[in-house]
Amino acid sequence: METVKVGITETIRVLLEEKKFNTLRDILVTLKPYDIATIFEELQDEKTPLLFRILPKELAAETFVEMDDETQKLLIHGFSDTELKEVVDELFIDDVVDLVEEMPANVVKRILKQADKDTRKTVNELLKYPEDSAGSIMTTEYIVLRPEMTAEQSIKRIRRTGVDKETIYICYVTDDNSKLIGITSVKDLLLSDDDVIVSEIMEENVICVNTLDDQEKVAQMFSNYNFLALPVVDTENRLVGIVTIDDAIDVLQEEATEDIEKMAAVMPSDKPYMKTSVFGIYKKRIPWLLVLMLSATFTSAIISHFESALASVIVLSSFIPMITGTGGNAGSQASVSVIRALSLGEIKFCNAVKVLWKEFRVSILCGVTLAAANFIKLMIFDLNGKENALFIGLVVSLTLIGTIIMAKLIGSFLPMVAHKIGVDPAVMASPLITTICDALSLLIYFGIATTILHI
């Protein structure tokens, strides 16, 4: 598939250089907006605005939405005011808001200048909602019906106003005060008799969200209920917008990317990897690396404190990497599982005791299994014929059991605490958990060693 796209891009590049615009148009109209946007992103030259002008108006707007920020910015700089107005007029209101949020101030000024008065007012209202809230991702373009309307009247309204709406399949029923009282679908309206009124066929038990609800929670509801759109109401239950499935998918992708970056100790970025500069990547990574490096000094301090013990039984030092590595891995397993369960709403802080009890039992099974396997390996290969081999093997094996229990309990508990106090649980993932477990596993190791070996 990638080979095909590369071939099309090169073909379009050649046709553009040869100024065969009719042929270019014939090719482009057969492609999907996303594929055309990908071609524009690969071209990225001064002729891109010329290629964009070839597209039919509606296809051009749909393609523009699919482009990345840099390509959009390049096109806008190449647009005349008239061309910019045509693009803005074709965009849905939530796409205009996204565009305004991502563009620099001088570009935003041009965009808003070319938008009509109503669009500017709506954009400014949507921009007032907190970032990452339902209000910030909703659109105000939807079908509104009244409960006293007949099915025939409703269909006529959809035909008359639906062309400018982002979705028409789901229709929202409000009273005279714009309060949401029900929903119905085009299917229900089409299959009903013409004289049936909307209040008789609408669903009154409406699942909706508030404008200030977190966008990740909103996006998750699409997965839970298989929605195509979700109504958004204010504090007085007045319908103010809807969130559509395409925006929900974007949110889920953004949140998943953000969580992955946090779990890898990288500050979240809003730019694709290939479009982020070396210095930009450096700024995202260095803060966590500094924090983790400084926190790792506790590990060094613990080893220094037990330096005399290590000197008396030098072989103990050779097992430190294995013990700390196993503890970090065990903690990461638990933390990732719990973080995922928290994000899906499968567990809450009130389930902490049950989660810890489950992880404790898992850690016992894992710890005993690894300790047994390790003890056999030590006796046959590593400590065969050495002084105090049995006791050293016992120290290492018991440490493994204690380390795994500790790591899994910490790895499962810290994300739940973070979630409870309003911190992203992903922060409590692999690197941080590993650093904590390294220090504690060494304390367990030397504690058991000094007790059994009397050093």
| Tens digit of pLDDT at every position of the chain (455 positions) | 444 455 788 888 888 888 888 899 999 999 999 999 988 888 876 678 888 989 998 899 899 999 988 889 888 988 888 888 888 888 888 889 988 888 888 888 898 888 888 889 999 999 999 988 999 999 999 999 999 999 999 999 999 999 888 889 999 999 999 999 999 999 999 999 999 999 999 999 999 999 999 998 899 899 888 889 999 999 999 999 999 999 999 898 888 777 777 666 666 676 777 677 888 888 887 887 787 787 778 888 888 888 887 887 888 999 999 999 999 899 989 998 998 888 878 899 999 999 999 999 999 999 999 999 999 999 998 888 788 899 999 999 999 999 999 999 999 999 999 889 888 887 766 677 888 888 999 999 999 999 998 87
Q: How many domains does the chain have?
A: 3
Domain-located, residue 317: yes
Amino acid at 287: P
Q: Which two tokens stand for residue 438?
A: 């390294």
Structure pTM? 0.69
Cα torsion angle, 116, 119, 121, 123, sign: negative
CA distance 151 to 149: 7
Domain-located, residue 34: yes
- CATH code for the domain in which residue 409 is found: 1.10.357.20
CA distance 330 to 320: 15
For residue 91, give the 3-state DSSP assignment.
coil
Considering the domain architecture, whether residues 219 and 362 belong to the same structural domain is answered as no
Quick check: 367 and 400 in contact, CB under 8 A? yes
Considering the domain architecture, whether residues 166 and 66 belong to the same structural domain is answered as no
Q: Which two tokens stand for residue 250?
A: 């974007």
- The pLDDT of residue 3 is 46
For residue 384, give the 3-state DSSP assignment.
coil
Considering the domain architecture, whether residues 166 and 23 belong to the same structural domain is answered as no
CA distance 74 to 104: 12
Considering the domain architecture, whether residues 195 and 215 belong to the same structural domain is answered as yes
Q: Which two tokens stand for residue 80?
A: 């005349």
CA 294 to chain centroid, in Å, comes to 29
Kindly give, in sequence order, each residue whose CB lies less than 8 Å from that of residue 221, ignoring residues fewer than 6 positions away.
207, 209, 227, 230
Considering the domain architecture, whether residues 124 and 152 belong to the same structural domain is answered as no
Question: Which phi and psi (to 5°) does residue 348 adopt?
Answer: -135, 175
Point out the domain boundary residue: 132, 163, 191.
Answer: 132
* Full residue range of the structural domain in which residue 230 is found: 143-245
Considering the domain architecture, whether residues 90 and 205 belong to the same structural domain is answered as no
The one-character DSSP state at 421 is T
For residue 379, give the 3-state DSSP assignment.
helix
Domain-located, residue 40: yes
Amino acid at 361: R
Phi-psi region of 390 (alpha: psi -120 to 50; beta: other; left: phi over 0): alpha
The one-character DSSP state at 238 is B
Considering the domain architecture, whether residues 128 and 148 belong to the same structural domain is answered as no
What torsion, rounded to 10 degrees, do the Cα atoms 51, 54, 59, 65 define?
Answer: 30
- CATH code for the domain in which residue 233 is found: 3.10.580.10
Of 134, 152, 293, nearest to 217 (Cα)?
Answer: 134
For residue 174, give the 3-state DSSP assignment.
strand
Considering the domain architecture, whether residues 26 and 117 belong to the same structural domain is answered as yes
Considering the domain architecture, whether residues 158 and 93 belong to the same structural domain is answered as no
For residue 231, give the 3-state DSSP assignment.
strand
3-state secondary structure 178-220: CEEEEEEEHHHHHHCCCCCEHHHHCECCCCCEECCCEHHHHHH
Domain-located, residue 266: no
Quick check: 204 and 237 in contact, CB under 8 A? no
Domain-located, residue 186: yes
How many C-beta atoms surround the C-beta of residue 151 within 10 A?
22
Amino acid at 451: T
- CATH code for the domain in which residue 16 is found: 1.25.60.10
Domain-located, residue 291: no
Point out the domain boundary residue: 96, 111, 132.
Answer: 132
Point out the domain boundary residue: 111, 132, 153.
Answer: 132
- The pLDDT of residue 284 is 80
Domain-located, residue 255: no
Considering the domain architecture, whether residues 119 and 202 belong to the same structural domain is answered as no
CA 72 to chain centroid, in Å, comes to 23
CA distance 53 to 60: 8
Q: Which two tokens stand for residue 113?
A: 């200048």
Question: Which phi and psi (to 5°) does residue 14 adopt?
Answer: -65, -45
Structure-token match 């692999």, residue found:
430
Considering the domain architecture, whether residues 125 and 40 belong to the same structural domain is answered as yes
Domain-located, residue 88: yes
Kindly give, in sequence order, each residue whose CB lies less than 8 Å from that of residue 69, ignoring residues fewer than 6 positions away.
102, 103, 271
Alpha carbon separation from 138 to 226, 250, 254 (Å, rounded): 18, 12, 16
Of 241, 250, 218, 212, nearest to 122 (Cα)?
Answer: 241
Considering the domain architecture, whether residues 110 and 158 belong to the same structural domain is answered as no
Question: Which phi and psi (to 5°) does residue 304 adopt?
Answer: -65, -40
